[in-house]
Amino acid sequence: MATNILMPALSPTMTEGTLARWVKKEGDAVQSGDVIAEIETDKATMEVEAVDEGILGKILIPEGTEHVAVKTPIAILVEEGEAVPEAPETAPTAAKAEAPAQAEKPEPVVISSFDPAQQTSTQKADKGERIFISPLARRIAKENGVDIASLTGTGPNGRILRRDVEKAKGQTSSTTAPSATAASAAGSVERVKHSGMRKVIARRLTESKTQVPHFYVSVDIELDALLALRSRLNKALEAEGCKISVNDMMIKAVALALKQQPGLNVQFTETEMLHFEDVDISMAVSVPDGLVTPVIRQADRKSLKEISQEARSLATRAREGKLSPEDYQGGTFSISNMGMFGVKDFAAIINPPQAAILAVASGEKRAVIRDGELAVATVMTATLSVDHRAVDGALGAQWLNKLRDLIQNPYSLVL
């Protein structure tokens, strides 16, 4: 009996996605567990594995199609020798192929993060070697006539990424003709289609900035004691190959401040305020197409060593596009650290539905007054962005002062 394969929901909030690539083609035999397609979300490229066995009789949604709604039939699976219907059944015959996120049907499509080393269908270079390339990069290359066999990938394990294709486009003068107005104003213009991630970032941040009433509180924090402690910890952990970063210590300090002042570990809804017992810190990680926020869960209960190891693992998987939905969903507070770029100060946009985000700038040598005397200290400006519906100004200022005390007296981070 013909079975509809449906567009899966890869997270509880997903409503649509991009069908990046078909791994199987029409007429291919499919076994349970075979990877049949790759789906792009705003966070990563995920694989869809078959639940049933049969023949992939008809592909309904071609690869590269964007805005495919969840539960839309994307293909039809038939038994061997069975006639292939022209259209999907009106009543879905493959309820078990729906989103794995649905609690009442946990056994359907298995979703796993994309790993280029496990691709079952790859294009070949002239000399017969595999070419590892992201689905988005492959599509852009195809649309612009770029020979991927000539490219050198800058991603993990030599994987070709979008930036590699776009660089090649520029070198081969593959530009789209600009409008008359643009051409007269600025010469030639290259048009790069928005990725799914960029679209979601634009939509969510626009909603946050226009619908959430932000207010901002900044404080200068002296880092010398924290940096001295970090140096001692890293010397003690050197044999284990573990290195604590300032960001790791900031995550721990923020988590402890939220535990001691839980009024910011909340979310506002139209009917009630949600107060969270667990402190789950979302950390902003820059990736080629935008930004993702993997979560360090129960950060207040973890040691600096545990936070360091987990943060590095999450950041690596984020940049490789290997995060699973549970890695980046459900944070209660966010940290955005731009200190490595030498930024003096900045204000971050709140990550809904959270109530606050901390912007961490660079530490720099500044003149300070201690006991009436002029001195030099390493000082960092931290700016708290807060949802005024959930948190009032005095509470935001009190929390930021609590954070400053923890950082300037950092031994509580290791007790």
Active site residues: 388
Residue 160: C-alpha distances to residues 132, 134, 148 (Å): 6, 6, 8
In angstroms, the CA 162 to CA 170 distance is 12
Residue 30: C-alpha distances to residues 10, 46, 54 (Å): 21, 18, 5
Cβ 264 vs Cβ 355: under 8 Å: yes
Question: Tokens representing 315?
Answer: 């950041």
In angstroms, the CA 32 to CA 384 distance is 49
In angstroms, the CA 19 to CA 12 distance is 18
Residue with tokens 């129960």: 298
In angstroms, the CA 262 to CA 252 distance is 15
Q: Name the strand (E) or helix (H) holding 295.
A: strand 295-296
Residue 103: C-alpha distances to residues 11, 70, 214, 396 (Å): 12, 16, 35, 37
Question: Tokens representing 52?
Answer: 């049933």
Q: Are strands 214-222 and 373-387 parallel, antiparallel or unpaired?
A: antiparallel
Write the CB contacts of 172 (distance below 8 Å, at least 6 apart in sequence).
Answer: 146
